[in-house]
Amino acid sequence: MDESPGLSDQYRKASPWPVFVALGLPLSEIGLVFDLFPIAVGGLLLFCGSIVGLLLESEYATTMWKPLIVMSGLLGVFGGLLIVADGTTDVTLLTRAYATFAAAIVMALGVVAGKLFVPKRGIPT
C-alpha cells in the first residue's frame, strides 16, 4: 500500500500566506477596539506584508520593494481619507487614521532600509 496516495511531487505545497492575510486585519481591529496601538499597526503591517508575500510566491512581482511602497502609499491615502471623514461623522476615526499612517511610515522606512542595506542578487556568470 502506498503511504501517500494521489500525491505527486509535481504539485506545489500549500502556501502559508492566506493564514496571515486572514489574521492581519482582525489583529488591527482588535488593537483599535482595545486601544492597543502597536497591535493595530502590527496587524496592518502583517496584512500588507502577507499580500506582498502572496504576490512574490505567485510570481506577480519580482521584488518585494515596489509592492511594499505601493501598499504604503495606499495606507497613507486611506489614512488621509479617514481624517477627512472624521469631521463628517459622529464616530471618532482619528485613532484608526493614526494607526494607518504609522503603518504606512514604518513600511516606507522598511522599504528604504531594504533598498539600502539588503544586498542585490548577483547575476551568475
CA nearest to 28, candidates 42, 12, 49: 42
Angle at 77 between CA 72 and CA 78, to 5 degrees: 95
What is the pLDDT, as a whole number, of residue 5?
54
**pTM score of the predicted model:** 0.81
What is the pLDDT, as a whole number, of residue 87?
80
Average pLDDT over residues 20-25: 91
DSSP letter at 118? Answer: S
DSSP letter at 92? Answer: -
Q: Inter-axis angle of helices 65-86 and 94-117, to 10 degrees?
A: 160
